[in-house]
Amino acid sequence: MPIDATKLLRRLEPAVRPGAAPARSGGPATPIERQSFDQLLTLVSHGSVSSGRQVRLEFEADPPFEAEQMERMGAAADVAAASGAARALLLVDGRGVVLDVAERVLAQELRAGGTSPLVALDAAVHVSGPDDPVASGPTPPPGLRRMPPEIIAQFGGGSSSGSEIS
């Protein structure tokens, strides 16, 4: 007996709701109940579906995160969860924070020159903001990415110009 993808997705309600899903031109957007499984996976992979779940801090951040940053990290946690990550590094406004994806807990902040222990990660998510030059800048060609200077500094590279990786 074949499994109906729509019925499976309905079981996830209200955990999965469309957020800023792009509307199709020429008519109203298709309700979530009528979208195919492939369409929903595409929305999730692009970060267009939001669970609305918040993240919480397990440490005392200095300086503290603003409500808007916490909201953006909640959306980034959705993206990390959709990719199947267990522990992710969130890069938000020049700061690196380790997220336990399943528990939605920000476990620690990684600082350059700090005494942070080695952290096992399986994903990194750049949490863009409204004034973020990375989000509005040109997209690098496939296969070539620039490593953020903050990450290079955390790995002891010390260079602030970025390093090309492939």
Whether 29 maps to a domain, the answer reads no
Tokens of 156: 């002891």
Question: For residue 129, what pLDDT is reported?
Answer: 79
Which tops the pLDDT comparison, 7 or 109?
Answer: 109
The answer to whether residues 77 and 99 touch, using CB atoms and an 8 Å cutoff, is: yes
Identity (one letter) of the amino acid at 50? S
Query: Mean pLDDT across the stretch 77-98?
Result: 92
Whether 153 maps to a domain, the answer reads yes
Query: Mean pLDDT across the stretch 129-146?
Result: 51
Of 155, 57, 54, 142, whose CA–CA distance to 98 is shortest? 57
Whether 136 maps to a domain, the answer reads yes
For residue 133, the number of C-alpha atoms closer than 13 Å in the C-beta half-sphere is 2
Whether 16 maps to a domain, the answer reads no
Q: Which residues pair with 17 in a beta bridge?
A: 50
* Domains identified in the chain, total number: 1
d(CA 85, CA 100): 9
Relative to beta strand 163-165, strand 145-147 is antiparallel
Tokens of 91: 């890069």
Contacts of 50 (CB under 8 A, 6+ apart): 17, 18, 19, 20, 74, 75, 78
Whether 113 maps to a domain, the answer reads yes
Which tops the pLDDT comparison, 66 or 41?
Answer: 66
What is the span of the domain harbouring residue 146?
53-165
Is pLDDT of 155 > 70? no
Question: For residue 12, what pLDDT is reported?
Answer: 67
Whether 130 maps to a domain, the answer reads yes
Handedness of CA 21, 96, 121, 164 (dihedral sign): positive
As a whole-number percent, the residues of the chain with pLDDT over 90 amount to 30
Whether 116 maps to a domain, the answer reads yes
Which tops the pLDDT comparison, 61 or 139?
Answer: 61
3-state secondary structure of 48: coil
Question: For residue 137, what pLDDT is reported?
Answer: 44
Which tops the pLDDT comparison, 31 or 141?
Answer: 31
